[in-house]
Structure 1
Amino acid sequence: MTPRDAADDRPGDPSGGSRWSDLDRPPLNAAALRRALVREGQLWSGVEVVQSTGSTNSDLVSRAAEGRATEGAVLVAEEQTAGRGRLDRRWTAPPRSGLFFSVLLTPGEVPIARWGWLPLLTGVAVATGLARAAGVDTSLKWPNDLLVTVGGEERKAGGILAERAGDDGVVIGVGVNVTLREAELPVPQAGSLALAGAVSTDRDTLLRAVLRSLSDWYGRWRAAGGDPATSGLQETYAAGCATLGRQVRAELPGDRSVVGEALAVDGDGRLVIATREGVREPVGAGDIVHLRPA
C-alpha cells in the first residue's frame, strides 16, 4: 500500500517535478478537501490522497478488515495502476486525469437485502454532483456506468464498483475520466468530461460536489431504512437511466443472454426486460449492451 505523500498538503513540491509534469492536470489539494468535507456530525470522517496505488478499493477493503478504517473514510488516488471495474475489467488512465476514489459505508440499520441499491445510489449521486459542478449532461447505464455525449455519440466516462468489507461494511469505488484527451482513451467507446464540453474540470471542485451529493443521497436512503421508493432513489435512478426504454441484450452468467426492451428497475434494483416472447425477466447481474435501433 502506498503511504500518503506528505507533499499532498502543499500546493507544490519543487523537489518533485513529476507532480507538475502536466500543468493542465494539477494535483489535488488534500488539506483543502479535508477542510471542506470532514465536519463533526457529518458522514465523511477522513479524506486521504495518495500519489499512486494499485486499487483504492482493494486498499480500503484491507484497511476495513484490519480495523484501520471507519465509516466515512475516503481514499483518493492520483493514479491507479490496477483499478478494477465490474466483471474484473481493468480501469487505467494517466495520472491526475480523473477522479479515482473509494469510500467506506456501514449502513448497519438498513436490511442487507437492500444493500444492493448502494452502487445505484452512488451512480445517482455521482451523476448529480458532476452535472452541477461540471455542467455536463450525464446519464446512467444500468447498473452503474456513467455516460456522457461526445460528438453526438454516447460514451462511457465513469464506472462504480461495490465490494463487501467484512460483515458490516461496503466499499464503493468510483472512477471518472475528467481530462482524458481523444488520443488517451483506452477504447473508442470511452469518453471524458472534457470531451463532453465540461465547463469545469477542476478535480477538487468536482470531488467535493460528488462527495456532498453522495452524503446527501446516502442520508436520505438510510433515513428511509433503505427503501428505494420512500427515499426517492428508485424514481430518480429511473429518470436518469439511459438503459430504460431501449432494446438491450443482457449477457448473463452461464453464457446465457436475454434480448428485449428494458422496461423498469424494480424494488430490488434489478433491470426488468420484456423479451420477444412476451416474458418479463428481472436481471440482477450481468453485462448490458445497448442495441442500436434496427
Structure 2
Amino acid sequence: MTNPIKRLRSILSAKGTIIDMGDFLYNLGENDLISHWEEDDIRSKRNYSEKMDAVFTILLRKNPTSTEEKLIKILEAMEREDIVERWENGSASRGNPSSRRDLLLANEGILKDRLDVEVVSTELLKSGVLSQGDLDEIMTPRERKEKRTVLWAKLLTKIDPRGFEKLLEALTQAKQGDVTEELRSQERSIYKGKPHIGNVLLDSIPSDEDLRRIAPKLKESWHEWESLGRELGLGSDAIDRIKSKTRSHNSERPMRTTYLLLREWKKSSPKDRPSTFRALHEALCNQGMDTSGLIALLCKKNCEDIKECL
C-alpha cells in the first residue's frame, strides 16, 4: 500500500494546489512534526517548492500512521477540507488549469484564504485593473474573508495578460511572493509542449487583409499611433516614412495612418521579433490601449481557443 504521506506530498505538489506555507509550518511545529531549527531551516529556503520538498523529507522519515492523523488535524484546522477529501479519496490532482481563468479557479482556496486584500486591491486600482467602484464594492463587507471573495470574483472577469501580470505584481507588493511564484509557474506550464490552435493563430503573422480589418478597430490608437509604433519596435525613420505618406494625401486620416503603421511594422519586423497577432496584442496591453477590437477579430477565426490563450 502506498505510504499516505507520499500521497499527500503528491497532492500538495499538484498544479493548482497551494497552501499557506507559514501557517502550515507553524502547525507542524505545534504538533511536534518538525523541530524549531528544522522550521527555521525550511523558512530559509528560496521558494515554495524547495520548502515543500524540505517538509516532506522530514515527514517521510516519521511513522506514517501517527503522522497522517496529525496532518489531517492540521489541514482541517487550516480549513483545507478540499485537500483532506482528495487525500482520503486517493486523488492527487484536481485537474490541470488550461487557461488563466482556470488557474484562478484552481487556486480559489488559497486566494480566498490568504490574499492581503487591502494591499492587493489598492495596487490593482493603481494599475487600472480595478476601478474605484470595484474597490468600494470589495471594501464594503466587514469580514476580511468576504472582501477576499468579492476581490476573487472581480479577478475572474478581468484576467487577461496585462491583468494577470498586474495581479502578480500586486501580490509581490503585498509580500506574498510564494503565491506569486506558484501562480507564475502554473501559468508557464499551461501551454508548455501542447499544440494549441489558439496559440498557433496568435503566433501567426496577419495578412494585409487582416491589417485592413484591424485598423478600424483600434480607434483608441488612431491619435496615439506614434506611441504604439515605438512599442512595436519602429524607429524614427519608420515613423517619418509614415508621416510622409499621410502628408502626401493632403488630409489627416487617422485610420489610414494606423493601417500604414501596421503595414510598416509587418514589413520591417526583425526575425527575432516577428509581427504576430500576439506581439500586437501585447503592445496594445503595454500601452494601456483597448484590445477588444483585436480580440473580436481573432474570435471570428477561433473564438474559444483565443479566449483561453488570452
Above 0.5 in TM-score?
no
Structure (1 or 2) with the larger CA radius of gyration:
2
More strand by share: 1
TM-score of the superposed pair, with normalisation by structure 1: 0.24
Q: Which has the higher contact order (CA 8 A, sep 6+)?
A: 2
User: When the two structures are superposed, what TM-score results if normalisation uses the length of structure 2?
Assistant: 0.23
